[in-house]
Structure 1
């Protein structure tokens, strides 16, 4: 039995559209996430606190009760105000956790998005997105885009998240997620089906997946599997609690790469973010390799 939590809102409107993900709205049918990624920014950050009511832990998946009826009301209200925009599905918790295979709540939500003709950007690690390509195709064909994006040819984008292509490293960091190769193959199937797809290489892991060779392997693999964009961002480490990502990530380093701990301490110091110098260098190198393969570093 999946635990249910009560929420007042499912559709969260942003003051300003995110230029990378294109989201005017975010939507997470579930709280918590079965993927179990130890670096997840929702562990210990203010964003996670907002998305996981009633102290739902990251691995403890809970269904937001009456999700479809709440969303239906909210979409109607947004249409009355003329506030169309892209909905990012799965911004803070996987929209296709294991329980979705039986519950089909995300599928019901996509049906509502289709009915009200909103465009959608699905962010996922799951192979289960293939189940819903029929609905996503209908959304893609019927979505009414916001006025300033009406030149786009797509009402659906599907992005797949990665931190590394190394299968062994991924098993340690993302224990509940499909392997990187499975994600690439799923993305390829979505591309072949006619969808615009891409990679979210977030986070790039300092000293583990941030070398020039690793960045090139990510971009090359993305291109070969149908991606038209690869978005990069450095690792962030939040919180000091036992389940927060800073704590869990340093434990991962202690168990597997103890020699890197001093390097991380130097890179992050007292911040949740690596140094500005590191972030600018990562961005420069990511742009260079993306240009080499003629692939964008954002959707638009």
Structure 2
């Protein structure tokens, strides 16, 4: 699929969170790009409040590095150091990063101001920046409460909704294949980084079964993952391009037998039932214990 790429100017790129995120340990979020070319059917930004300000297609925050310098300089002056979640809404290593290198410039600025970073990606392009990330990890000023728990100032997470190549081709058709992500994660681990597998979102009745999760957690562990994070699917919006609409259309086409029970699971909510979420959490927690891997970053 071809995407229209726009170069936009922004007034802010660094978002300060009200509280440190329990999942990713981040106090800030940062996205070099808006929109995504991986075309995942379930992408939560399509139809939710998180995508309200996205421009159609793909957008490059062309003045992002200059804006980030000002913002991080201000936060460093106030000594408000915290992990930056890089790629919380859009993968920071989309294919267009090869040409624009905005993520690379962001990392150079992060190094300059000595902030720790948690990178969320699916791409092997991150391997280009391992030398730079090594320097960030060594020089970052880590919040006192996390210093003894995370060690260095870089965490790298690779996201998966499934490790089944056929399911991946259906639900995330233009994202790097799961095996590519696993191999990239292994290389990052071998380079000395804390790495993890983020199973977000797991697909109800497709990739959330005990058998599927056992397989996924086992493979992640084998490839060097230090932790696994997992969460269920969310479905937003009623428009033709929103994730709720697209997800059910995809189910109708490929797994019509799963439509009724999936709709029953969600009811009138954007999230599955609390009972389901609790059962999923316990399932992942117990399987992580069986495989000897943490179900949190530290």
Q: Distance in 2 between matches of 1:185 and 1:2?
A: 29
SS in 2 for 1:122: strand
Q: Give 1:67's match in structure 2, choosing from 58, 64, 67.
A: 64
2:155–2:195 Cα contact (<8 Å) kept: yes
2:9–2:64 Cα contact (<8 Å) kept: no
The two structures, once aligned, show a CA RMSD in angstroms of 1.0
Please tell me whether residue 275 in structure 1 is matched to residue 273 in structure 2.
yes
2:123–2:181 Cα contact (<8 Å) kept: yes
1:198–1:227 Cα contact (<8 Å) kept: yes
Q: CA deviation at 1:6?
A: 2.4
What TM-score do you get using the length of structure 1 for normalisation?
A: 0.96
Q: Distance in 1 between matches of 2:76 and 2:144?
A: 14
Q: CA deviation at 1:8?
A: 1.1
Which segments of 5 or more consecutive residues in structure 2 lack a partner in the other structure? none
| 2:167 matched residue in structure 1 | 169
* Alignment map for 1:282-293 (pairs within 5 Å): 282-293=280-291
Q: Give 2:180's match in structure 1, choosing from 174, 179, 182.
A: 182
SS in 2 for 1:298: coil
Q: Distance in 2 between matches of 1:148 and 1:283?
A: 25
Q: Distance in 2 between matches of 1:202 and 1:154?
A: 25
SS in 1 for 2:52: helix
Please tell me whether residue 235 in structure 1 is matched to residue 238 in structure 2.
no
Please tell me whether residue 297 in structure 1 is matched to residue 290 in structure 2.
no
Q: Distance in 2 between matches of 1:101 and 1:284?
A: 40
What TM-score do you get using the length of structure 2 for normalisation?
A: 0.97
Deviation string 1:246-268 (CA, Å, 9 cap, x unpaired) is 00000100110111111011100
Give structure 1 regions of 4+ aligned residues with deviation exceeding 4 angstroms.
Answer: none
The total of aligned residue pairs comes to 294
Please tell me whether residue 144 in structure 1 is matched to residue 141 in structure 2.
yes
Which segments of 5 or more consecutive residues in structure 1 lack a partner in the other structure? none
Q: Distance in 2 between matches of 1:268 and 1:210?
A: 15
| 1:206 matched residue in structure 2 | 204
Q: Distance in 2 between matches of 1:180 and 1:199?
A: 11
Q: Distance in 2 between matches of 1:37 and 1:207?
A: 18
